[in-house]
A and B are shown apart, each in its own frame.
Chain A
Amino acid sequence: MASSREVKTELLELLEGLCEERLTADQFARLEHLVVKSRSARKLYLDYIHLHGTLLWDAAQSDGVILTNSNESSRARTRSVDSPHVSEESLAKQESVVSVGLGNASRWRGKKRSWSIALSAVVCLSLLTVLVWQWEDSTPTDAQLAEVPQNPSDQDPMYDVPREPAPYYRPFPIDRSIAADGTKETPVVAVIPPESDTLPLDMVAFVDQGLQDSWTVAGVTPSVVADDTEWLRRVYLDLVGQIPSASEVERFLADGSPGKRKRIIDQLLSSEGFDRHFATVWTNLLVGRSNPRIGNRNSLFQYLRNAFAENQPWDATVAAFISAEGSIDANPAANFLVAHLNNQAVPATAITARVFLSTQVQCMQCHNHPFNDWTQQDFWEMNSFFQQTKMVRNEEGKPTLVSESIGGPTLFETRNGLMKAAYPKYLERQIPDESSVNRRKEFARLIAEGKEPQLALAFVNRTWAQLLGAGFTNPIDDMGPHNPPSHPEILQTLSRGFVASGYDVKALVRWITSTKAYQLSSRVNETNGIDDPATGEMPLFSRAYTKPMTVEQVYDSLIVATRSEGTDSQLALRDKWVSQFVRTYETDENDESIHFQGSVPAALALMNGEVVKDSLDPQPGTTLHQALAAPGGDEVKLQSLAIATLNRRLAEQEVAAFRRLIRQQISAAPAPLRKRVAAEAYQDAFWALLNSGEFVTVP
């Protein structure tokens, strides 16, 4: 599909050499060869030439100033897009030259032809002279140079020592023959990037250092470390999909020993809640919440739950889904493809690519990708891996996956009506298309090959985003050459480590949650306001990005918040509750939309009956009952409600505001009813806390 990274690295080096006119004859020939051979190389070449040429042209046109969009530089000019590069005066100049020419020509009409030709040549030459004059009259003046600091190394560590380059960019070995003054320069040994086989001993420290470097380069300081309550709520929601209970919060706050965060991570990773939460997330990714074709969603969920509980290697899990055979009873993993085999396995192809490989291929069903060099052919080559698969009903009428022994190509039609053939091929590796070859098994094998396959990059990016609130690449399922990651070295190293660990999911999650970035608060400081992936900026991870809770997290958290004894929500009830918000769309991807934007009032309004009444009814066993029954004044009651819902203590002014309202209600009531009114007032306070935006946010 995409050109291999080594070729791209080499090509980038050669293009750099071309721009600086440092290519040897061999390198030149190599560049030619690469560009002629491949369309993607040609595209890269043209983009580079455009960049280089535009910078040259602009500099020549405007006294050495490069066109920028900012108004910082006093020398920057604003220009309308369509205006010619030549300024208005010179255009007028040319026109006056032309009109002079016209005037002269009319005078000379009827004279010998050669006069007219000479005249037009003069006109042409003077026009050219004007253009050339524009070009040459732009050497930077001394005044301009003086504005520049003479020793940039004093200002910026970047210029001091050649930085350790990114793993996929190697600097040029120096070519002695091009020394400007004719002297031989001492050869500088090119800095070789770290061997791709060696992994850092301490993955977390590597990630921390990499992020810190990016903060330094960007000139931001990271936000403060999140305080205990902020952090605990986040890690609970991220790892087990529900808020901590009041007693869990109290226990954490009371723990003064070092390493308590690490202990919580370990505890949560080995809890059932982790399996449940990750199984929920991945069931939703694989089959959605409402797919009508799904056989048995619950058994798929249970399969995933077991897989996470046993820490089954991720590549084995993916292989199980992709190459599943048999009835959904015998093999719950078959539910995945059963849900998407409609429409010639087009959804299966698209979803497999998007969910497991984080690549968007669905539009390539009909045409080439608009922003990179993937083609329609690539889509159908991937689709042909699924062509042997059929869904049938077995004797009990249950959906069953069978692989038929068929071979040969998949036929598809291009936009101009041409029929083409696609053979099962993934990333230049074609498998034999005989009917005896089990294509899905081969596909599952191919996508997990290598030290750093896209399967690993995709899972790392997705999991990072799940925990940190943004991926290295965003959108997280749209990776590709058209969408480069924010921190390629970190993404790649984490992925290689993930592969080397045997696709160990819990190890990856442990690394990520142990990084410094995961400890930070979401509070912005003076320097990192720009770090805001929600606005489309590349994330720096210099602060936490808050996330809205998912529907399931809201439900589970409501249960935790309202019951004083820990009980896990009942999954059947949860699914029923969730289904109120979901609507299915019939698209090529079996899309669905969910109407829940993290708004509790909407949720509570739609929940009729049990959960609402139960949560507000101060029966024994509920949070409300416990708060009301315990000894202590207003503040004590309010704080216990807050800890149970927002997982933090209220600030002074918040307590004051609540108390004011409660007091008002009580004093307005006649004496015999005061106790009852007080209870209702606390109910209202509890309701307000549950309704707040803060409740449905992952901090």
Chain B
Amino acid sequence: MTSLDQFDSDLEIRSYTPENTGPGPEFVQEFTRNQRRLYLYILAQVGRPTDAEEILQETNLVVWRKSAQFEPGTSFFAWTSRVALFEVLKHRERRARDKLRFSPEFVESVAEEALEASENWEERRKALSICMGKLRPQDRELIRRRYSPGENGISVAEDLGRPINAVYQSLGRIRRALMECVNRQLSAMASQ
């Protein structure tokens, strides 16, 4: 856990000089390239997609403002993930009444491993796209519906006129199958 003082935003504004003309194209490219990874990293610590999106936006604001602090050649993700972690904790304080949020112990134990695991997330995504291709068309369609923005299991069940329990079961089965497929696929990819 890094000291929170490092991210005191007051200090930040004072250090800003007119010579900083905004981030260059390399920065922008790194920034956009790391968005997905950052989103997943944040999601791992808060569990809820809506929270993760909010926190990602907050993080982006800070990262963009502090673009001058980034040293080219160092790990962009390492830097932005520290910002994100701070935002996760700030966000948590704001939502003090919400019972369904992860404790600081949880965040701490997950954050470090998520950082390490995130190195392989791109490989996992490749494996996932292969595995999505292996799904039966009906299963792929169900996933498409479920993950369409604004949808969830209940809305999909309503759209299709199926009992909610059946839809939850199917989704669970498919997600489990995808996970197992991804792990197999990664083993296969690694042994090549």
Beyond contacts A67-B125, A69-B130, A102-B22: 16 other A-B pairs, Cβ-Cβ < 8 A, are A47-B124, A50-B117, A54-B40, A54-B125, A59-B144, A59-B149, A81-B126, A84-B33, A85-B36, A105-B21, A117-B16, A128-B60, A139-B150, A159-B138, A165-B173, A188-B163
* A397 interface contact, C-beta 8 A: no
Please give, as numbers and ranges, the residues of chain A lying within 8 Å of B125 by CB-CB distance.
54, 67
Please give, as numbers and ranges, the residues of chain A lying within 8 Å of B165 by CB-CB distance.
162, 171-172, 174, 188
Please give, as numbers and ranges, the residues of chain A lying within 8 Å of B173 by CB-CB distance.
163, 165, 169
* A70 interface contact, C-beta 8 A: yes
Please give, as numbers and ranges, the residues of chain A lying within 8 Å of B23 by CB-CB distance.
98
Binds B, one of A18-26, A251-259, A402-410: A18-26
Q: Is the interface of B mostly helix, strand, loop or mixed?
A: helix
* B44 interface contact, C-beta 8 A: yes
* A120 interface contact, C-beta 8 A: yes
Please give, as numbers and ranges, the residues of chain A lying within 8 Å of B164 by CB-CB distance.
174, 185
Please give, as numbers and ranges, the residues of chain B lying within 8 Å of A128 by CB-CB distance.
57, 60-61
Q: What are 18 A-B residue pairs whose CB atoms fall within 8 Å in the complex?
A: A22-B168, A23-B100, A28-B99, A46-B117, A49-B40, A50-B44, A54-B40, A54-B124, A65-B144, A70-B133, A85-B35, A85-B36, A98-B28, A128-B61, A131-B60, A185-B164, A371-B186, A536-B188
* A94 interface contact, C-beta 8 A: yes
Please give, as numbers and ranges, the residues of chain A lying within 8 Å of B103 by CB-CB distance.
32
Q: Chain A CB within 10 Å — which of B24, B48, B49 has the most? A: B49
Binds B, one of A148-156, A277-285, A520-528, A679-687: A148-156
Binds A, one of B72-80, B86-94, B106-114: B106-114
Chain A residue at minimum C-beta to C-beta distance from B161: A151
Chain B residue at minimum C-beta to C-beta distance from A161: B166
Size bin of chain A's contact surface: 35 or more
Please give, as numbers and ranges, the residues of chain A lying within 8 Å of B159 by CB-CB distance.
145
Chain A's nearest CB lies how many Å from the CB of B41?
9
Q: What 1/0 flags go to B49-92 for Cβ under 8 Å of A?
A: 10011000100110011000000000000000000000000000
Q: Measured between alpha carbons, how far is A564 from B20 in the docked complex, in Å? A: 95
Question: Among the listed A28, A51, A178, which residue makes an inter-chain contact with B175, where contact means beta carbons less than 8 Å apart?
Answer: A51
Please give, as numbers and ranges, the residues of chain B lying within 8 Å of A490 by CB-CB distance.
none
Binds B, one of A106-114, A230-238, A635-643: A106-114
Which positions 20-46 of chain B face chain A at CB distance < 8 Å? 20-25, 28-29, 32-33, 35-36, 39-40, 43-44
Which positions 172-204 of chain A face chain B at CB distance < 8 Å? 172, 174, 178-180, 185, 188
* A672 interface contact, C-beta 8 A: no
Q: Measured between alpha carbons, how far is A69 from B154 in the docked complex, in Å? A: 28
B187 and A105 contact, CB distance less than 8 A: no
B40 and A50 contact, CB distance less than 8 A: yes
* B7 interface contact, C-beta 8 A: no
Given contacts A35-B109, A86-B35, A91-B32, contact A54 B18 (CB under 8 A): no
Given contacts A20-B153, A128-B60, A151-B161, contact A158 B170 (CB under 8 A): yes
A123 and B160 contact, CB distance less than 8 A: no
A105 and B22 contact, CB distance less than 8 A: yes
Chain B's nearest CB lies how many Å from the CB of A1?
17
Please give, as numbers and ranges, the residues of chain B lying within 8 Å of A53 by CB-CB distance.
39-40, 43-44, 49, 52
Please give, as numbers and ranges, the residues of chain A lying within 8 Å of B140 by CB-CB distance.
66, 68, 73
Given contacts A20-B153, A85-B36, contact A56 B49 (CB under 8 A): yes
Which positions 80-104 of chain A face chain B at CB distance < 8 Å? 81-82, 84-86, 91, 94-95, 98, 101-102
A110 and B18 contact, CB distance less than 8 A: yes
Which positions 108-153 of chain B face chain A at CB distance < 8 Å? 109-110, 113-114, 117, 121-122, 124-126, 128-130, 132-133, 136-138, 140-145, 147-150, 152-153
Chain A residue at minimum C-beta to C-beta distance from B114: A46
Given contacts A55-B147, A105-B21, A536-B188, contact A180 B155 (CB under 8 A): yes
Q: Chain A CB within 10 Å — which of B114, B161, B179 has the most? A: B179
Chain A's nearest CB lies how many Å from the CB of B20?
8
A69 and B129 contact, CB distance less than 8 A: yes
Please give, as numbers and ranges, the residues of chain B lying within 8 Å of A82 by CB-CB distance.
33, 122
Please give, as numbers and ranges, the residues of chain B lying within 8 Å of A67 by CB-CB distance.
125, 128-129, 132
Which positions 573-603 of chain A face chain B at CB distance < 8 Å? none
Q: Measured between alpha carbons, how far is A116 from B186 in the docked complex, in Å? A: 48
B40 and A171 contact, CB distance less than 8 A: no
* B96 interface contact, C-beta 8 A: no
* A370 interface contact, C-beta 8 A: yes
Q: Measured between alpha carbons, how far is A190 from B169 in the docked complex, in Å? A: 10
* A442 interface contact, C-beta 8 A: no
A49 and B138 contact, CB distance less than 8 A: no
Please give, as numbers and ranges, the residues of chain A lying within 8 Å of B36 by CB-CB distance.
54, 57, 85
Q: Measured between alpha carbons, how far is A48 from B148 in the docked complex, in Å? A: 18
B32 and A66 contact, CB distance less than 8 A: no
B148 and A484 contact, CB distance less than 8 A: no
Chain B residue at minimum C-beta to C-beta distance from A71: B133
* A430 interface contact, C-beta 8 A: no
B65 and A120 contact, CB distance less than 8 A: yes
Chain A residue at minimum C-beta to C-beta distance from B68: A120
Chain B's nearest CB lies how many Å from the CB of A200?
23
Q: Measured between alpha carbons, how far is A72 from B7 in the docked complex, in Å? A: 48
Q: Measured between alpha carbons, how far is A28 from B100 in the docked complex, in Å? A: 7
Please give, as numbers and ranges, the residues of chain B lying within 8 Å of A68 by CB-CB distance.
129, 132-133, 140
* A221 interface contact, C-beta 8 A: no
* A124 interface contact, C-beta 8 A: yes
* A306 interface contact, C-beta 8 A: no
Question: Among the listed A48, A119, A139, A536, which residue makes an inter-chain contact with B149, where contact means beta carbons less than 8 Å apart?
Answer: A139
Which positions 1-33 of chain A face chain B at CB distance < 8 Å? 12-13, 16, 18-23, 25, 28, 32
B16 and A116 contact, CB distance less than 8 A: yes
A163 and B169 contact, CB distance less than 8 A: yes
Please give, as numbers and ranges, the residues of chain B lying within 8 Å of A484 by CB-CB distance.
180, 183-184
Chain B residue at minimum C-beta to C-beta distance from A79: B129
B129 and A159 contact, CB distance less than 8 A: no
